[in-house]
Amino acid sequence: MFTGIITDVGKVEALEQRGDLRARIATAYDSATIDLGASIACSGVCLTVVDCGLDGNQHWFDVEISAESVSKTNIGDWVVGQPINLERALCLGDELGGHIVSGHVDGLAVVVALRDEGDSTRVTFEAPKELAKFIAPKGSVSLNGTSLTVNEVDGCRFGVNFISHTKDNTVWGKVALGDRINLEIDTLARYVARLAEMQGT
């Protein structure tokens, strides 16, 4: 379980197909504090650590990624050298600064518009039709692992405002038109929609 508050921007150091895809991620996390089998959200995808270590001054961890995860997320777009949002799993007693995020990506949204507004940037995304019904103004979504508030919704499109702090401390400072983004719907929104559906039958 995660909160959607990004705590490091890692870098893809290596990608190797070994049946499943294996990725090495460089990180500022102290590898001595990372347990094998631990969960780390990598651009919003909950992945399991299978190895970790220190090369010189650079800490790293390895994850194995199933073909299913590659097909349902933007991991297939990863290239060596690419920065990715990282968040370690929530511990009891940690501050919940975002919203509850599972790390199970529901689908891919696409960046369809960018507009600077002062120091902030308004980004418009297009969600898959089957997920758009779960997105509401002032509701929460997880995009590439980042807990964000929806500003407006127009059909399958929705807008999010990125403040300078978010752009400086996550990968969102490098967002571009056409980027495919890991989208996880707020669990609460899913249950509310399901309840409304059941009451309507």
Domain contains 13: yes
pLDDT at residue 152 is higher than 70: yes
Provide the domain count of the chain.
2
Cα gap 49→51, rounded to integer Å: 6
User: How confident is residue 89, by pLDDT bands cut at 50, 70 and 90?
Assistant: very high
Give yes or no: residues 121 and 191 share one domain. yes
Tens digit of each residue's pLDDT (9 = 90 or more) over 108-123: 999 999 999 999 999 9
User: How confident is residue 194, by pLDDT bands cut at 50, 70 and 90?
Assistant: low
Question: Residue 98 burial by CB count (10 A; 0-12/13-18/19+): exposed, middle or buried?
Answer: buried
pLDDT at residue 201 is higher than 60: no
Tens digit of each residue's pLDDT (9 = 90 or more) over 32-82: 999 999 999 999 999 999 999 999 999 999 999 999 999 999 999 999 999
End-of-domain residue from the set 58, 88, 118 = 88
Domain contains 3: no
Mean pLDDT of the chain: 92
Give yes or no: residues 114 and 194 share one domain. yes
Cα gap 153→136, rounded to integer Å: 6
Domain contains 98: no
pLDDT at residue 94 is higher than 90: no
Give yes or no: residues 82 and 111 share one domain. no
Give yes or no: residues 137 and 190 share one domain. yes
Give yes or no: residues 118 and 83 share one domain. no
> What is the reported pLDDT for 93?
62
Structural domain boundaries, residue 152: 107-199
Under 8 Å between Cβ of 199 and 191: no
Tens digit of each residue's pLDDT (9 = 90 or more) over 20-34: 999 999 999 999 999
> What is the reported pLDDT for 99?
74
CATH of the domain at 19: 2.40.30.20
Domain contains 149: yes
> What is the reported pLDDT for 188?
74
Q: Which residue has the higher pLDDT, 186 or 115?
A: 115
Name the 3-class secondary structure at 46: strand
Give yes or no: residues 132 and 66 share one domain. no
